[in-house]
A = this chain, B = another copy of it.
C-alpha cells in the first residue's frame, strides 16, 4: 500500500477503491457499509428521528486524550444524545490533503471504530475526497448521525423553567486546555487530557431515571457560557450560577489564570449540561455519580424568571456578574 495519500485516492477509481477496502472497510466492517451502494440501506426506525452533522477541523489532529477521529464520533454521538435520542448510525466524510500519512489515517480510523463501538453506533456510509497539497490543512472529517427519539422524551432549549436545577456532568475546560497546550508547545508541565467521550450511555441512564429532563446540551465550542446564554434566550428565563460550585480542575484553573482565560468559555468534548425539574434532582444526580462520565457531576445553579435571556454568577458575598455570550474566539479550530 502507498505510504502517503495521493490525489488519485480521491478519484473514485481503483486507488479510491483500494483505500476504502484497506482502511475503511477493514475497521468499520459491517454489512450496511459493505453493501457499497450510493446510500446505506437501513432498517426502519419507529420513533421520531434525530439528525445532526458536524465537520471537524481541529488542529493538531492528535492531542492528549484523543484525536480528530475519536472527536468526530463523540461529537456527533453527543449531539444526538442531547436531543434524547439513542444514536444509531454515523456517516463519515474525509477531506484529505495529498501527502497525508496513510499510517496516521489508519490510526485515526481505528480510533473512530473503537469509539463507535463504545457508543454502540455503526458507521454505515462514507466519502473520501483528496485535495492538492496546500489546499487543506492535513485532514478534515465530517460526521453526520441518525438517532431515534423514544416516545415521551421532549428535550429542547426552549424547555427550561424557573425553579429547575442546572447540572454539569464534570470539570470544565479540559479539552480546550489540553488542545491549546499541545498546539502551542507551551512550557507547562501538564497532565491535562481532553475529556472527549461519548455521553449517550450517561444520558440513557439519566433519562431512565427522569424522562422529563427539560434541556440537555453538550458544552463544546464556546463553552458552558455560550450554551447557557442560548438556553436563557430560547427559554426566556434567567440562569443563576453559583460561582463556587462550577467544577474546574485545579491545574486547568491555574493555567487559565496564567493565560487570562475563563474556563466558562473553553470547549469541552465530554461534558453535558442538564436542566432538570427540582423534584427529580436527587435521583438524576445519583445515576450521574454512578456513571464513569458523570462521576464529578455538580449542581451549579438554577433557572430563575428574571432577567430574561441573561446568565449571571452569584458570588459567595452576594455580588452578581453577567456571563455574556462569547464575541471573540479564544482558541480557533478547537473541534
Contact = CB atoms under 8 A, between A and B. Distances in A.
Interface string A36-54: 1111111111111111111
A262 to B, nearest CB: 13
A149 B218 CA distance: 33
Nearest to A131: B57
A157 B36 CA distance: 8
A63 to B, nearest CB: 17
Contact of A42 (B17, B48, B137, B226): B48
Interface string A162-194: 000000000000000000000000000000000
B137 A137 contact: no
A25 interface: no
Contact of A12 (B53, B85, B220): B220
A36 B144 contact: no
Interface in A28-70: 35-57
A129 interface: yes
A51 B156 contact: no
Given A136-B135, A329-B8, A144 B39 contact: no
A253 interface: no
A156 B37 contact: yes
Contacts of A130: 332
A93 B53 contact: yes
A275 to B, nearest CB: 13
A218 B12 contact: no
Contacts of A127: 53-55, 142
Contacts of A57: 95, 129, 131, 136
Given A12-B221, A16-B222, 4 more contacts: A7-B332, A13-B226, A41-B83, A42-B50
Interface of A: 7-8, 10-17, 35-57, 78-80, 82-83, 85, 89, 91-95, 124-127, 129-132, 134-137, 140, 142, 144-147, 149, 156-157, 217-218, 220-222, 226, 230, 234, 325-329, 332-333
5 cross-chain pairs, A with B, having the tightest CB-CB distances, nearest first: A12-B221, A13-B326, A12-B222, A11-B329, A144-B144
23 contacts: A8-B327, A13-B327, A14-B325, A14-B326, A17-B325, A38-B82, A39-B79, A39-B83, A39-B85, A40-B50, A40-B51, A41-B83, A41-B149, A44-B48, A44-B49, A45-B49, A52-B125, A53-B144, A55-B94, A93-B93, A95-B140, A127-B142, A142-B142
